[in-house]
Amino acid sequence: MLAVAMTGVAGAGAPAAPRGVDFHPSRILVMPLGGQFLPELEALQRLRGRTVTHVFPRLRNLHIVRLAEGEKVAEAVAQVRSLTGVAWAEPDWLVSAAGLFPNDPYFQNGTQWALNNYGQNGGVADADLDAPEGWDVVTAASEVIVAVVDSGIRATHEDLVENLWRNPLDGTPGFNALSGQHDPWDENGHGTHLAGIIAAVANNQRGVAGVAWRARLMACKFLDGSGNGYTADAISCVEFARSHGAHLINLSWGGAALSLSLSNALWSAQAEGMLLVAAAGNNAANNDLAPYYPASLPLENLVAVAASTRTDDRWAFSNYGAASVDLFAPGMAIYSTASSGDSAYESRNGSSMAAAHVSGALALMRQQSPGSSPVEIVAALRRAVDFKPAFAGLCLSGGRLNLRKALDWPGLSVSSSNGMAQVRVSGAAGHSYVVAGSTNLTDWTALQTNVAAANGQWVFTDSESTNRPSRFYRALPGP
């Protein structure tokens, strides 16, 4: 007969429940030791008021058991584990789709397709930043100051006010080069829209989610209500940002004239380790042939961004350039914060919006790797793209920004065991990664795809390595 084990140690050897992990309130999973115990096990469950709702014959008769009314999961698991005819019993753990989904309404209803595109409104599924998968790794850049050098920011907006940088001297949110005061109020809406894309407060049940859920937005105003401004005022804003600790400057504007003065100001910002993001322009032009400044300035820390659509095509008006534009990012029908009211939102198009997506991504990357140099961060950003035919030959990277890849590039180390190479991949627990091999560093073959364990690692043993010429390995984010 099925008997209670005499050891009295309920659930000995079974893994403990991780903190904060939830489970089904009235259901458990039970694995019998063998088929001979099945009738007695099911009879015992009935005696306790439980019901076996399903048995998986191909999984060694794994049982799904519904508990009796009012029975506690932990107590039921402990009791069933103590039976000699049971291999294990465990709660029916709650799991979630890989990816963190904020509760902001315009993210939830699919309006923010750039962050999570599942084919809504004529889009192509996955023509997006893979933002939820990226947010699984890091959501906030609370230590990073992003200067939005533009038309200012509506400082009272419900989705921005909590993320505004504040001057420690007077509590103001930035600088207005037009007035010479610290009142960068937005009369145009362009800067407010960019600010929301970069770092609207996320998961607050309001409006939209920024790429960086938390970052410190510094408002630097030099564009007037018509969206026009002069180089001298832009330089004043850059200097304010540089002297007040900004780590990144968003430059979603430009023109055909090369200003040596602006170039020098941005070079000085670069020399102090600041990241620069510039819009490629909206003239449907090739920036390799007709430069657009400041995007076309040859600065190591400057990222030039073109605009893509919800179908992973180039937005028809976006500039491009195989040698002068770094990558594409979503820039068409982008919904974000508006300056017309404290709870106002609107849709805009342009490489300005594409640049703002990249600024948000760079803020998260810098938060994640504060010890990395700007040049290293920019290189990591360029490789963190989804390669698409529509962007081949139109930008340096040949692809569109992918936030998950930018934040979740795995580490790799190689050792030897019994003459075979052992490749250890380090990343985020539960995320998939690919190990690829090459003998010439040019042609790469995927060798294995796997999911990192709870410690964020998995080890691939290359059983063929003893029968091959010495080869190189690399790890990549998986599908």
Q: How many whole angstroms separate alpha carbon 371 and alpha carbon 375? A: 12
150 included as an active-site residue: yes
247 included as an active-site residue: no
Q: Which of the residues 352, 397, 432, 465 is marked catalytic?
A: 352
Q: How many whole angstroms separate alpha carbon 309 and alpha carbon 329? A: 8
CB atoms within 10 A of CB 371: 5
Residue with tokens 């091999």: 437
CB atoms within 10 A of CB 181: 11
Q: Cβ(280)–Cβ(300) under 8 Å?
A: no
The structure tokens listed for 370 are 């504060």
182 included as an active-site residue: no
Chain CA centroid to CA 67, Å? 40
Q: Is 231 exposed, middle or buried (0-12, 13-18, 19+ CB in 10 A)?
A: middle
Q: How many whole angstroms separate alpha carbon 66 and alpha carbon 289? A: 69
Q: How many whole angstroms separate alpha carbon 396 and alpha carbon 48? A: 67
Q: Which of the residues 63, 157, 190, 431 is marked catalytic?
A: 190
Q: Which of the residues 128, 130, 136, 150 is marked catalytic?
A: 150
Q: Cβ(153)–Cβ(184) under 8 Å?
A: yes
Report the DSSP pairing between strands 140-150 and 432-438.
unpaired
Q: How many whole angstroms separate alpha carbon 466 and alpha carbon 53? A: 50
Q: Cβ(241)–Cβ(269) under 8 Å?
A: yes
Chain CA centroid to CA 275, Å? 19
Report the DSSP pairing between strands 399-401 and 432-438.
unpaired
Give the residue from 2, 53, 47 showing the smallest Cα distance to 26. Answer: 53
Q: How many whole angstroms separate alpha carbon 181 and alpha carbon 150? A: 15
Give the residue from 346, 276, 344, 357 showing the smallest Cα distance to 315. Answer: 357
Residues that are catalytic:
150, 190, 352
